[in-house]
Chains A and B, each alone.
Chain A
C-alpha cells in the first residue's frame, strides 16, 4: 500500500487478532531472551532498520539530510545472528546477572497491502529495563512492519523503527525492539 494509511484499520477481527498474538508472542520471546526462536520469526531477507534521529528545522528537514544516514540498526539476518552469537558467548558481562526486561506492545494496527499474503503492521513498543543500579530506563520505539506468509507461517520481513529519543538514554542497547 502506498500513500497515507486510512484512519481506521480495515482488516477483519480474526486477522487483527492473529497479528496481535504474533506481536505479543514475539515480545515474550525477547523478554525471555529466546533469541534463536525469535530469529525463526524473521524471513531470511529481513531488514531490521532504525535510523538515528536528528532535529532539523521544519522548513529544511529534507535539505539538511545527509546522503548517508547513521543508523542505530541497519541489519540483515546475518547481523542479527551475530548479535545473538555475542550474547551466547556468555562474555557479555553487562547482561550478567540477567536484567529485568519488558517489551510492552501497544497501538497495533493492521493493513492489507497490494500483495497477497503480505500485511503492513504498525505498533509501538516500550522497552522497560531495570538493572543493577535499580534505575528504570524506558525507551519508546514506533514500528512499521511488513509481515509476509512464508510456508505455513507469517514472518517478519521488514521492521522500520523510529527511536523517539534525541539522545540515547541508556549505556547499552543490548536489546531488540
Chain B
C-alpha cells in the first residue's frame, strides 16, 4: 500500500474521518512514533509508589516501562528491557525492589536503572564491559501534576504544566478540590478488547449521545437521580444543564452543572451526597463558587490527550494501552479523595467495579459496539467509507468565566472533533513548534488548517 497522507484522513471542518485510521498498520506505527513517542503519557499515581524502591509496571504506547520511586523521593521511569539481550526485567505488576535482576543471564540493575551487577564480569568479560554505558533506557522526562505522574519519551516536549494548559482548571475540580488530594485504590481492572484505542477515547471524551441508548438497560435499573441532560432512550433532554468543553490542545471535558449527578449511578448514593454537602464550602473556598457549586460533584468526564480519562463522581480513572491497530488493553482504577472515610472509599470501589469494572454493567454495554466499529473495517469496501462526527457544528461558544470552547449539553460531537483534530496535528507535526496552541474559539479558528 502506498503511503497514506494523514492530511486526507481527517477533516475537522466537516467532522470527517477516514475509517483507515482505525485499521491501517502504517497509521498505527506513525501513532507510536508521533503521538505515544512525544505526548505526555500517564505513568502512575503518586499513591501507588510511596516508598523508595516501590515500582509499578505499565506501558507507554506499546513500550513497557517500569516506574520507580527513588531514594530522594523523585520518580524515574525506564524501558522494562534488559540492555544485554533484551529480556523483560520485571514481571510483577507492582512491588518494592532493591534491585531488578534479569532472569536470562542475571544482570542486575539498581532502582535508578544503572547496571550494578554482571555475573562473571571478570572471568568471562575480562572486565572489559563499561557498565556505565549499559543502564536501562530512561524515559526522557518524568513529572507530576497534583499526584498524577506523567512521562514523555521526547526531551523536546513542552513541560507537563504547559502540555496540560488550560485543562488544569478542570482537572483541579478533582485533583485539587480537597486539601489532601486524591489516591488510586485497589488494583487495576485489566480488560483486553479487539478495539482501536481511539474509539473508547472518543466514546468517553464527548459521546453523551450513546448514554441513553447503548446503556438504556443499566440506566433504567441503576439510576438514583434524574439527569436533565440525559434520558433513557434519548427521548428528550434539557441541554442547558450540561456542557462539553474542548479546544485546550485536544484535552476535553463533558460535565453536568448540578453538583451531584456524579453519584447518579450509585443505587444508594446517600453516603456520597453527605460527603458533598459536608465539604462543598471547603471546595468553594479553594476553587471558587463556580467550580465548587456547579462542577464539583457533577457527572464529569475529563480526557487528557491522548489516552487518559478520569470521571469524578463515578470515581474511575482509566488508561488505554494500544496493542496494534485492532487491539487495546483498558486499565481501570477507582480514584478517591484521601479525606473520604474508609466506608465511603469501599462503597466507591465497589460501585466502580459494578459500573465500569470488568463485570461493570455500563462497561459491558460498550465493548461490543466498539469492537464492531473496529472489526467491520476488515472489509475493504467498508474501510474505504468515511464516517462523521458532525453533530451541532458551528454551535461552539466561549465563556468569560471558564476556559476552552464550549457547547451546551452532554450530547454533542464537538469534543470528538477536537480529539481527531489534535490527533491529526500530532501526526503531521515534525516538531513541537509546528503543533498549534489553542484554548479559545478565536485561537482554535486561527490555527485551524484548511
Contacts and interface: CB of A to CB of B under 8 A. Distances in A.
Interface of A: 50, 52, 54-57, 60, 63-64, 66-75, 78-79, 82-83, 85-87, 89-94, 131-133, 166-174
Nearest to A85: B221
Contacts of A169: 192
Contact of B353 (A67, A72, A89): A72
A87 B370 CA distance: 20
Interface stretch (B152-160, B361-369, B411-419): B361-369
Given A82-B267, A86-B217, A91-B220, A71 B353 contact: yes
Nearest to A92: B217
A70 B191 CA distance: 13
A30 to B, nearest CB: 14
16 contacts: A52-B188, A52-B189, A52-B190, A60-B95, A70-B334, A71-B186, A82-B222, A86-B217, A86-B222, A90-B217, A93-B365, A132-B368, A133-B371, A167-B191, A171-B194, A171-B371
A55 B92 contact: yes
B386 interface: no
Contacts of B365: 92-94, 172
A81 to B, nearest CB: 9
A68 B345 contact: yes
Interface of A is mostly: loop
Nearest to A82: B221
Given A70-B333, A71-B357, A171 B92 contact: no
Of B186, B267, B359, B369, most A-chain CB atoms within 10 Å? B359
B92 A94 contact: no
B96 A70 contact: no
A158 B2 CA distance: 59
A167 B222 contact: no
B6 interface: no
Nearest to B57: A55
A64 B329 contact: no
Nearest to A174: B364
A134 to B, nearest CB: 12
B186 A64 contact: no
Given A56-B92, A70-B349, A71-B186, 8 more contacts: A52-B190, A55-B91, A55-B92, A74-B350, A94-B367, A131-B368, A172-B364, A172-B368
B338 interface: no
Contacts of A52: 186-190, 357-358
B55 to A, nearest CB: 10
A72 B358 contact: yes
Contact of B220 (A67, A83, A89, A132): A89
A173 B352 CA distance: 15
B59 interface: no
Contact of B346 (A68, A73, A85): A68
A85 to B, nearest CB: 4
A91 B217 contact: yes
Contacts of A170: 367
A171 B359 contact: no
A70 B187 contact: yes
B185 interface: yes
B93 A68 contact: no
A125 B353 CA distance: 22
